[in-house]
Amino acid sequence: MQFRQQLSYRKPLTPTLLVKMLLDPMLVIGTLLALAGYYGDLIDRNYVLLSLVIFAITFPGTWSKHANLRSELAHIFTSWPLLVGILLLFGYVTTFLEQFDRDVVVGWVVITPLVMLAAHMTIRKLLARLRGRQDGRVAVIVGASGVGVQMRDRLREESLVGIECRGFFDDRVPGRTALGDAGEAAVLGQLKDIANYVKLHAIDIIYVALPMSSQPRILRLLDDLKDTTASIYFVPDIFIFDMIQARIDDVAGIPVVAVCETPFHGMNGFVKRVSDIVLSALILLLILPLMLLLAIAVKLDSPGPVLFIQRRYGLDGRDIVVYKFRSMTVCEDGDKVVQATRLDKRVTRLGAFIRKTSLDELPQFINVIQGRMSIVGPRPHAVAHNEEYRKLIKGYMIRHKVKPGITGWAQVNGFRGETDTVDKMKMRIDYDLDYLRQWTLWLDLKIIARTVLLVMMDRKAY
């Protein structure tokens, strides 16, 4: 199993970045308002309120200038039904949906994904045509290392960047580089040959992909290149680290590389919190009668409190209190907590059912409203389990850089229920860290949808 690692950059607010952030929200809202005008529906405060909700859910947009038609179709026609389902369900429960013309709503649901697809592909073609009119830039890479080869491959894959890689410069023989013997033709020379080559062949860009331990060679190289006009970029060899939301930033003008950071900084944190509040409020409205019935059933089924209240680790490893419907005859919350196992005698008759169907987790939506948890995130473990596994699994505590969730990426990938071995727990942690690396709002919605499908079929919870 392999997980992606990415290095992101805090870019200035360029026109391209602004388009990426605003394109999808504006298309969805614009289509809604256009249809309202077409059907003669008055654009009143209800439309303004709905537009604000749509903007909060869809911002920032996910358009990418590098996606192809197939990936666009897969993304739009999987994410759009989830978004529509949430909005329509919320509108139906609150009767807010009755404020809008039925033709407008139906037209908006059907037409918007087509508008998004057409807009995405049109803008991509315009950018490609614009790029084609410009003279492409030419680059060479210093250091045929793993990160250097990755840089070359990325330039080839993302042709819209408009940079042609001519080859590598490296002091090692081809067989000892990351290119192998088959890559001999890609090696243009040694480091001492770069300056002359750059001047003779009008090279625009030089990417230095030497390891951090090569500082003396890098300094000599930079000195040799002072007589050229090429732009020089250093490609840091930091991919040896297990990076979580890595990005380049600056502190008081000093450049720093974030190797491990939460995905919920800035606008992402705002989007995550708004989606948690909106979805939790909607779900609580729907399940309130069910929660009352379950509370009565728990009280009648066995002696003890209705709610099982346990200390767990939350954001940044701080203690939080988590609510569950009591499903066992004990309420363990000490230094030693024994995980529930199959046919565990501590599980009550009703408890076996509500654990299997995850109904015991429903009170945790109150934790989400309180700000202690998120709907989606790494599942919180008992404090005793945290203290046990943090000593056994490297990187275990990194999962606490985000709020714990009612459901998570690990749970929908088969790691729900008992973790009776360290290897099983390690696999759960691997998925938790992968969630931190690749988080998007659409991933959250995908996990929620998969959770609903899995709950009734999962045999791993007891």
CA 267 to chain centroid? 13
256 CB burial (10 A radius; 0-12, 13-18, 19+): exposed
Confidence of residue 337 (pLDDT cuts 50, 70, 90): low
Reply yes or no on whether the pLDDT at 86 is more than 60. yes
User: What mean pLDDT comes out for the span 312-327?
Assistant: 87
Distance between CA atoms of residues 95 and 416, nearest Å = 36
Distance between CA atoms of residues 428 and 407, nearest Å = 12
Closest CA to 74 of 22, 130, 113, 128: 113
Residues pairing with 258 in the sheet: 247
As a whole number, the mean pLDDT across the chain is 79
Show Cβ contacts of residue 295 under 8 Å, excluding neighbours closer than 6 positions. 306, 325
Reply yes or no on whether the pLDDT at 2 is more than 60. no
Confidence of residue 3 (pLDDT cuts 50, 70, 90): low
Reply yes or no on whether the pLDDT at 260 is more than 50. yes
Q: Kindly tell me the sign of the dihedral angle through the C-alpha atoms of 323, 327, 329, 330.
A: negative
User: What mean pLDDT comes out for the span 6-22?
Assistant: 56
- Cα–Cα distances in Å, from 288 out to 278, 285, 295, 350? 16, 6, 11, 19
Tens digit of each residue's pLDDT (9 = 90 or more) over 418-460:
666 888 888 999 999 999 988 888 888 889 888 887 776 655 5
Helix axes 267-301, 349-356, angle to 10 degrees: 160
Reply yes or no on whether the pLDDT at 134 is more than 50. no
Distance between CA atoms of residues 21 and 196, nearest Å = 43
Q: Retrieve residue 2's tokens.
A: 């392999």
More confident residue, 157 or 452: 452
